[in-house]
Amino acid sequence: MTRKYLSFDIETAKILPGFVDDLMAERPLGISCAAALAEDELMPQLFHSVDGNGRPALQMSQADVSKLVDFLVKRTAAGYTIVTHNGLGFDFDILAEESGRLEDCKKLALDHVDMMFHVFCVKGFGVGLDAAAQAMGLSKMEGVDGSQAPQLWKDGEHQRVLDYVGQDVNITLKVARACDRNRAFRWVTKRGKFSDFAIRDGWLTVRDALELPLADTSWMDDPWPRLKFTGWLS
């Protein structure tokens, strides 16, 4: 099946004190900005609110986040398949909270391709976007990661954060399309070795991935339950 992909990602706004083991326990996190990139477009579309001086606001207003939901709904209606890396367990959960559009975000989440969730359903563990990008010879922006983005945004480094989220959607799109083309997902393990598994029918939507049998996690000390990703849906 040939898909038209639209990659999507958000950056949160809340500044957290040091290392946080459970980011979702610190909610509400707010959204500073977001990006979306269609594979038939050259540049990502960027989203953020503006303050009274016309500068990027500290975080997106509920009205602007709702407009972002409208954008995603319209793009899916136009035939695009949204693709993310951990969008089910993070981006769409936060989007639902910040927009107040729970039912719309649930549908978007179930009908989209979350590469992280598909991998988790098959392998029983998650693989980061960085690891998949490295296997393709790609790398994310140096000097910025998701944990630093809220402080950088508050400090006025808006373009730097926008460049970062824009690069993330670009990498997500490249990984998704390459895996579809090769019918395999490949990544670099924490030990620096390459690993992969076949995706013979291409990426599954979240709705379809939920139909897969539970992965064998008997060898793990503390395996993640699927509810880690899906709990907010119910």
pLDDT of residue 137: 87
pLDDT of residue 141: 59
pLDDT of residue 143: 62
pLDDT of residue 184: 95
CATH code of the domain covering residue 206: 3.30.420.10
User: What is the number of residues in the chain?
Assistant: 234
Host H or E run for residue 47: strand 45-47
For 105-155, how does the pLDDT look when each residue is reduced to its tens digit (9 = 90+)? 999 999 999 999 999 999 999 999 999 999 988 876 566 677 889 999 999
What distance in Å separates the CA atoms of residue 171 and residue 132, rounded to the nearest whole number?
A: 9
**Structure pTM?**
0.95
pLDDT of residue 140: 67
- Report the phi/psi class of residue 137: left, alpha or beta, with left for phi > 0 and alpha for psi in -120 to 50: left
Host H or E run for residue 170: helix 158-182
The widest CA-to-CA distance across the chain, in whole angstroms, is 56
Q: What is the DSSP letter of 183?
A: T
Positions in the chain whose pLDDT score sits under 50: none
Domain coverage including residue 210: 4-233
Host H or E run for residue 151: helix 149-154
What distance in Å separates the CA atoms of residue 42 and residue 48, rounded to the nearest whole number?
A: 20
The tally of domains found in the chain comes to 1
